[in-house]
Amino acid sequence: MSKHNRYSFVPLEFERMSLEEQLSRGREFELRMRGRRSVRQFSPQTVPRELIEIALRVASLAPSGANQQPWRFVAISDADVKRRIRVAAEAEEKENYERRFPQEWLDALAPLETDWHKEFLEIAPWLIVIFRQDYGVASDGDGNEQKTKHYYVQESVGIACGFLIAVLHWMGLATLTHTPSPMGFLREILGRLPSEKPFLLLPVGFPAEGAEVPDITKRPLQETADFLGG
């Protein structure tokens, strides 16, 4: 018998559907997700907090190693904080584009016409910063803090981010997966714990009027998946 407390188990709630319903739902979701694009031109139009709360609740339903849920979402609409994040992010990105990035990476980025200017960090009505929690901190009952190791942190947080991006698109909002490197400034600006490390910076809002995106295509299924049997 494990010395740790065990979960109680309850009957699984699972909706069985006809094949026709499964195909219909799958095709509808695929069609909607085909329209998802990374957006760098945002409108300052307000996005109600309720929509962000729904999206974060959905993201929090993602599976995680041992159900440790090693993530923390920080949703920011405060203009001053967004300004500070932009200034710090642009400082790092300017250094990246001018000194750190190898030429091979700069050549790969060139068709996208990106540079170190990140004005969308102020224009987008919301910034969601996703932190990964490498360990948990809890009191032992005597006022002492104890660390609890988290497992499969990268995988768990990555899945949660996938849930988050998908539900935001499903609700009609645009996003951009932004990963300025290094990202330590986010922990400093937002006053986070040492156990938390920035994983992703996600601007969220509506696309600007006349927004454009690169004319790219996705690789066909036969180039990205293999079937063995079935």
Sheet with 71-76: strands ordered across:
71-76, 126-133, 196-205, 174-175
Distance CA 45, CA 93 (A): 26
DSSP secondary structure string, 25-69?
Answer: HHHHHHHHHHT--B---B------HHHHHHHHHHHTTS--GGG--
Nearest to 178 by CA among 110, 117, 105, 106: 117
Nearest to 180 by CA among 112, 117, 126: 117
Exposed, middle or buried, 103 (CB in 10 Å: 0-12/13-18/19+)?
Answer: exposed
Tokens of 57: 């609740």
Note whether 101 and 51 are within 8 A (CB): no
DSSP secondary structure string, 121-161?
Answer: HHHSSEEEEEEEESEEEEE-SSS-EEEEE-SSHHHHHHHHH
Q: Is the pTM of this model over 0.85?
A: yes
Write out the CATH class of domain 37-207.
alpha beta
Q: What is residue 4's predicted lDDT score, i.e. its pLDDT?
A: 65
SS3 state at 95: helix
Q: What is residue 3's predicted lDDT score, i.e. its pLDDT?
A: 55
User: At 139, which amino acid appears?
Assistant: S
Q: What is residue 99's predicted lDDT score, i.e. its pLDDT?
A: 94
Domain boundaries, the chain: 37-207
Q: pLDDT tens track of the chain, all 230 residues?
A: 345 678 899 999 999 999 999 999 999 999 999 999 999 999 999 999 999 999 999 999 999 999 999 999 999 999 999 999 999 999 999 999 999 999 999 999 999 999 999 999 999 999 999 999 999 987 766 767 789 999 999 999 999 999 999 999 999 999 999 998 899 999 999 999 999 999 999 999 999 999 999 999 999 999 999 999 97
Tally of CA atoms within 13 A in the half-sphere of 156 that contains its CB? 20
Q: What is residue 1's predicted lDDT score, i.e. its pLDDT?
A: 37
Q: What is residue 137's predicted lDDT score, i.e. its pLDDT?
A: 84
Give the number of other CB atoms < 10 A from CB of residue 220: 8
